[in-house]
């Protein structure tokens, strides 16, 4: 929970310092990710999503290393 709060705070600071203010919309929410893989992630509702941006993958991997797997979700060697 602390990591999620830290990530949300960092994101809000980043948006504020980028000068985009209220016009910004966030399409990716780290808190929606249940399990991450190199090719995408399962959300809390068990829906599959590809990473829209490499920065999203990097942010999730650094904030939730325990929930990230460095292989494709359909890799037959990891089931």
Report the pLDDT value the prediction gives residue 25, as an integer from 0 to 100.
46
Inside any domain, residue 77 = yes
Q: How many domains does the chain have?
A: 1
Proportion of the chain above pLDDT 90, given as a percent? 52
Mean pLDDT over 25-35 rounds to 79
Report the pLDDT value the prediction gives residue 77, as an integer from 0 to 100.
84
Inside any domain, residue 36 = yes
Domain that holds residue 63: 32-79
Inside any domain, residue 37 = yes
Inside any domain, residue 9 = no
Burial of 33 (0-12, 13-18, 19+ CB in 10 A): buried
Residue 56 C-beta-side C-alpha neighbours within 13 Å? 19
Inside any domain, residue 39 = yes
Inside any domain, residue 21 = no
Inside any domain, residue 53 = yes
Inside any domain, residue 24 = no
């Amino acid at each position: 929970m602390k990591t999620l709060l830290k990530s949300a705070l960092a994101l809000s600071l980043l948006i504020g310092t980028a000068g985009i203010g209220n016009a910004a919309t966030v399409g990716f929410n780290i808190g929606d990710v249940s399990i991450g893989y190199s090719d995408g992630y399962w959300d809390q509702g068990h829906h599959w999503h590809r990473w829209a941006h490499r920065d999203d993958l990097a942010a999730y991997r650094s904030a939730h290393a325990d929930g990230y797997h460095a292989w494709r979700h359909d890799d037959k060697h990891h089931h």
